[in-house]
Amino acid sequence: MKVIGTESSQILASRIADAVRAEIVGVKFSKFPDGELYIRTGSISDEMVVVGSIVDPDSFVQLLLLIDTCEGSEIQLVLPYMGYARQDKKFHDGEPVSARAVARAVSQNVNRCITVNIHDPSVLLNFSAPAKNVSVAGTIGDYIAAMALRDPLVLAPDDGAARFAQAVAEKGGWDCDHLDKTRISGEEVSIAPQKLSAENRSVVIVDDIISTGGTIATAASMLMHQGAREVFAACVHGVLSGGAFARLKAAGIREVACSDTIERGCSRYSAAGTIAGVIQDGKKTAGRR
């Protein structure tokens, strides 16, 4: 088995390779004068793990090219962050179901797909190969535990993230709750306070994705007003668009942390161990057939 990754997932691919004790394949990435992408890889094997987060159009095309390069191999496709996954239904006439289109495109000619904290697990039904979604909630729990906070409160910014927050909190047996939010516009959110005991506590707001950071920034301001000792933010996918990191820090959040599903300067924990476990389990299952 060998591991290969797109340009946006080089670090995570290398960590996965180390975790499964496989060779990482080198790739040359470049562009033709007309903007078309070009890749050239080292030698591939009969079993390949292709790792690529879809964070922009180029990363999507690179992923398709890598999959094609590995044609003839048994391919496990790892999508640490699947862009377009949040458009999982038609909200208006004339819209595509983007999650379906992307899932179909990348799962052609692969044997298995692995996603990480995908926005809606029902998206997995659109893959043409068997697909499994894994969670790094426990890894975030380990990160919080290592901070040795006093009387931490794990908080989801809305009820949709409550189950994820609970999974994080269970790692350390911490208190967990969520806030209700009302979206006023694309980036403006009003949050109604719940009966939370935030006073003199270290609060960690957790979510699967931090995009613009508006919701979490508003929540942090409210919690500080309630007397929270300090506020942290932790997520799986750090999209952090439109100046989100600075917005969160300006709101008083002590530290903003994300995983390496999107490789950022604030990536504090890795999804590699969780992904590697699924890859190794897949090999054991295949060996028993």
Kindly state the tokens that stand for 131.
């697909």
At position 279, the amino acid (one-letter code) is I
**Closest by alpha carbon to 203, among 180, 192, 219?**
219
Q: Torsion over CA of 11, 17, 23 and 28, rounded to 10 degrees? A: -30
Under 8 Å CB-to-CB from 16, ≥6 apart: which residues? 3, 22, 49, 51, 78, 272, 275, 276, 279
Is 171 labeled as catalytic in the residue annotation?
A: no
- In the set 132, 181, 195, 283, the catalytic residue is 181
Catalogue the active-site residues: 181
